[in-house]
Structure 1
Amino acid sequence: MDLLRAPWVLATIVVSAVWYWRGSQRPSLRAVGTGSRRRVAPWRGLCFAAGLAAVLVALDSPVERLADDWVWAHMLQHVLLMMIAAPLLVLGAPWMPFWRPLPLGLRRRIARALVKSPFFSWLRYVASLVVTPVGAWLLFDVNLAVWHVPALYDLTLRNTGVHYAEHISFVLLGLLFWSQVLDSPSFHPRLSAFGRVIYTAAGSTASWLLAIVLTIATTPLYPAQSAGHKGGLSPLGDQQLAAGVMLGPGSIPYAIVVFYWLYVWLGADDPDGGLRRRVAPRRSALGTGAR
């Protein structure tokens, strides 16, 4: 069974879902996105569940089996992890639900160590560099580009550990990237609505350039994977279909976010808001909740 091909993936998803549910049910937790003293807003829970489902489809379904032989399926995995699962998980606002179930004493010790301990000064310094719009964007795009260098791409096919590292980096840096444009309490982006438009459009640069390279290439870029073809598409046809996956499904999340924040920036739903209004006064599904 494909669902048993990578049991650790299914186990991780189940544990994450249970932990999120437990943390979101605590009566003291203010509703994320509503401002009332309720549990986590239901729509955020649905987003988190959908994000976990996208991870499951990418890593523990027939897609994972097909990705061993086909570039287009491998590319579909990357789209599911970076452009589907990551933004959905961010919208699910899992930070507080994951934090709350820990014992209070442990939470205090962890927080004190992270904030004050000299041992973690390096971590605070790194965070100050990467947990920013520019840092997150660079890591997100460079990570995508580097993993598609032919030598490293072929290595992921031969080495399971490297392959897992690739997928983990896609999810983690995807969370970092999308948290800069999607409100995910208790973290809120510092960018204005128009800044989020520019940032999201810039974030799609690497995927578009990769798709162009795959489209115009006259020889297979990933010979190790081409050798596994058992019929059907030619290696070049496989690459071109992979480019289509990146340009088609891979562009949809970017487009949704760009057009949404462009709509907010133009003040289409608030004629008195002006063209330069910032995001903070307004709440939304892509912001912090329903208005």
Structure 2
Amino acid sequence: MSPLTWHSLLITWNMPVAAGVLLGVAALAYAGGVAKATRWPVSRTIWFFAGLTVTTVATGGAVEVYSDVLFSMHMAQHLLLIMVAPAFLVFGRPAELLRVTARGGLRRALSGVANSRWAVLGTHPLTAFALYTAVVVGTHLTPFQQSALIHPWLHGLEEFAYLASGYLLLAAVLPHEPLRRPWPPLLRLLLLLPGMAVDTVVGISLMMTPAEPFPAYAAIPRTWGPAPLQDLHWGGAIMWVGGDALMAAVAIVVITDWVRTQATDLGPWLNAARRSAIGRGLDENADLDGEEALRAYNEMLAALARDNRR
């Protein structure tokens, strides 16, 4: 195996056939849905194909090739597949696109599946978190990773598990997909906290491991890069710091949406200010946008305070 350099990071490719076929089908299906949909936002299409691009790089580029040689590169691949790509895919809203473009029997079938007991249970936020935890812990703190290094088909299933578990968790946290009625923003933020704890515990556990737990990495002859144990500790640090940083970025998105939603709820207040202004003799059609609306609202509060004192 040639040393990992910026040049090899850019030119090395080895896309598995199964992954290439699935990514191609997903791209064609989404493009067909966009062609059928009415006024589908371009931004959603950009987000979805950005997610497919990240998935392609993670499963067919140098990240994939060197993940069999360096555990730290495997951890970079892990974060791309379980956090970055799923977030982009959720912003692309493929489930919403399928819902608005499905017709006839397909629409009825999708409705039946969406209302089934298994679908309701599988898309529940707690189920998504449990699946995320099981995937992260099960692939790093057990002998599973050793088996995935030996059997390529198992490594492919591992990558799919990362993408699927990340998508379900982020679809529950970011209420963009119509998988189920979203939790309130505060509960969705609280769901991210144990998710960060999972990344922290797994990352620190790997950093504190005194011996290489995956002999397949140590068995690969190479004269470059970190020693196997040091590489393991680097991977744990990437898991801890990188995973928590990505979770924090998702939390910022949730908070931003929450603040934006609260801002739209100011309508009743501004209407009350408008009625107060009208009561002072202003025209009902007067423009109270911006500073004038805020001034009218403050005057209304002051009038209410004077009434209370009287």
TM-score (norm 2): 0.73
Matches within 5 A, 1:141-290: 141-187=133-179, 189-231=181-223, 232-263=225-256, 265=258, 270=263
Match of 1:73 in 2: 73
- How far apart are 1:100 and its partner, in Å? 6.1
Secondary structure in 1 aligned to 2:36?
coil
**How far apart are the structure 2 equivalents of 1:133 and 1:206?**
16
**How far apart are the structure 2 equivalents of 1:4 and 1:71?**
18
- How far apart are 1:260 and its partner, in Å? 3.3
Aligned partner of 1:56: which letter?
T
1:51, 1:89 within 8 Å by CA — same for their partners in 2? Answer: yes
1:3, 1:10 within 8 Å by CA — same for their partners in 2? Answer: no
Identity %: 24
Aligned partner of 1:51: which letter?
G
Match of 1:43 in 2: 43
Match of 1:23 in 2: 33
**How far apart are the structure 2 equivalents of 1:268 and 1:19?**
32
Per chain length, whose mean CA-contact separation is higher, i.e. which structure has more relative contact order (CA < 8 Å, sep 6+)? 1
- How far apart are 1:267 and its partner, in Å? 7.4
1:211, 1:244 within 8 Å by CA — same for their partners in 2? Answer: yes
Structure with the higher fraction of residues in helix conformation: 2
The verdict on how the C-alpha distance between 1:189 and 1:105 changes in structure 2, with shifts beyond 3 A counting, is closer
Secondary structure in 1 aligned to 2:212?
coil
For residues 231-275 of structure 1, give each alpha carbon's deviation from its aligned partner in whole angstroms, at most 9, with x where no partner exists: 3211121011112221333333211121333455567984986xx
Q: Which runs of 5+ in 1 are unaligned?
A: 30-37, 117-123, 274-291
Aligned partner of 1:74: which letter?
H
What's the C-alpha RMSD, in Å, of the aligned pairs?
A: 2.7
The verdict on how the C-alpha distance between 1:45 and 1:138 changes in structure 2, with shifts beyond 3 A counting, is same
For residues 203-247 of structure 1, give each alpha carbon's deviation from its aligned partner in whole angstroms, at most 9, with x where no partner exists: 222221111011111111212222215132111210111122213
**How far apart are the structure 1 equivalents of 2:142 and 2:180?**
37
Match of 1:110 in 2: 109
Q: Does 1:10 align with 2:20?
A: yes
Matches within 5 A, 1:77-96: 77-96=77-96
**How far apart are the structure 2 equivalents of 1:265 and 1:99?**
25
1:86, 1:175 within 8 Å by CA — same for their partners in 2? Answer: yes
**How far apart are the structure 1 equivalents of 2:169 and 2:177?**
15
2:81, 2:163 within 8 Å by CA — same for their partners in 1? Answer: yes
Secondary structure in 2 aligned to 1:68?
coil
- How far apart are 1:188 and its partner, in Å? 5.7
1:22, 1:97 within 8 Å by CA — same for their partners in 2? Answer: no
The structure that has the greater radius of gyration is 2
**How far apart are the structure 1 equivalents of 2:142 and 2:105?**
44
1:48, 1:89 within 8 Å by CA — same for their partners in 2? Answer: yes
Q: Which runs of 5+ in 2 are unaligned?
A: 1-10, 267-310
The verdict on how the C-alpha distance between 1:226 and 1:99 changes in structure 2, with shifts beyond 3 A counting, is farther
**How far apart are the structure 2 equivalents of 1:112 and 1:262?**
31
